[in-house]
Chains A and B, each alone.
Chain A
Amino acid sequence: MEKKILEILSEVKPGVDFEGRTDLIDAGVLASFDIISLVSELNDEFDVEISVVDLVPENFNSVEAMAKMIKRLEDED
C-alpha cells in the first residue's frame, strides 16, 4: 500500500522525495490544494471515502500515516 501511495504522491506533487518524511503538512510540502488531488486519487485507488473529518495533519504528515488512515477506513467499511 505504501508503495502505491508513494506513486500517487509523486504524481500529485512531482519532484519531492516523500520517503521517510513525517512533516509533509507541518512543513508545508503538501498544501490544501494538493490534499484535494491526493484525496481524490486515494479514494479512487483504494475504494475508500476520505471525509472532511479525516483531513487533519496527523493523517497526511507521512506515507505511513496515510496508509494507516486508509486501513482504518477500509476496516470501517
Chain B
Amino acid sequence: MADFLARVQQLPVLGLGVSTEYGASLAAGALDPAALRRAAPEFAGFLEVGVEVAKGLDAPARAWADAGWPTTYHFLDINLDEPEDQDAAWLAGVRACVAALRPAWLCGDAGMWHFGRRDRGHMLLLPPVLIAEAVAPLAAGIRALRAATGLEVLPENPPGSAFVGDLHLLEFFARVAEAADTGLLLDCAHLAMYQRLTGRDALDGLDHVPWDRVVELHVAGGRERDADGFRWVEDEHGVELLPDTWAIARAALARARNLRAVVVECERNPLPAVLPLFTRVAAELPTHMRPVPRDSRPGAGA
C-alpha cells in the first residue's frame, strides 16, 4: 500500500459541508441539511453522518446518500485503542452503513466513546490519555479499521474538560498519524478547549502538526462554562465561534495543503441562524477547496 501522502491525492475534495447524526435533523428547530443544500449549495457540498451502528442511519441521511450526494462517515461508537471493540457484528454494521452512504472516508473522535463493552448507558466521550504508551494501541486500531473497511480512517482530536497526560495534544496526534500512516481531522473548537484548559495560547503547538496529513477540519461554536470557579468550554455546536477557535481555523486553513473538507458543526440550529457562519468560513477557504456540490474529484488538491 502506498503511504498516506500518496493516498491522500486520491481523496476527493468535498469542500464545505455539514454534519448530522441519527434523528438530529428531525428535531424541532434543527438544521435540515437537504434544505441547506437547496438554499445554499456551496455550504452543503457533503454531509458528515454521525453513526452509531446500533441505531443505523435515519431517513434524511439515507435520502441524502440515495440522491448521490457526497458523504463522510463519522463514527460515534468505537474505542479505536481497544481491539475487542472491532468485533464481527459491529464491523458488519459498519460495512452495511458504508454500503448505504458510500462515504469518502471514515473519521471520528479518537477517544473513549463508551466504558466497558458497547451497551446501554455506557456512552460518553473522553479524550485519549496523552502519553507515549497510548499511541501504539490507537494507531493499531486505525490500521485495523482501515483494513476492515478499505477506507481511510481519520482520527479527530476529541473534546473534553479533563486532559490527562504529559504530551501536547497536537504532538500526541502527530505521533498517532505517523504510527498509523494516516491523515488527521483537526477539530478547531476541540483544540481551543484543550489550549484554554491547559493554559496555553490558542496557536500553541501548531508546529507539532504534520499539516500535509490534515484532510478535514471541524469548526463549531462553544459555550464558556464556570462551576465552582473551574472554567471550561462546552462543545455546544452553536453558531458563535469563540475567537480562539476562529484563530485556529484560519491558521489551519493557511497551512493544510492537502485539506479536502471543512465541516461546520451546527446541526441543532435553524437554517437562517447558520448562514452567516457558513458565509464566514467559506470566505476563508483556500482556492483549491472548491465548495461546489458534485464538483468533487480525486486528485484535486495540493
A and B: real partners? no
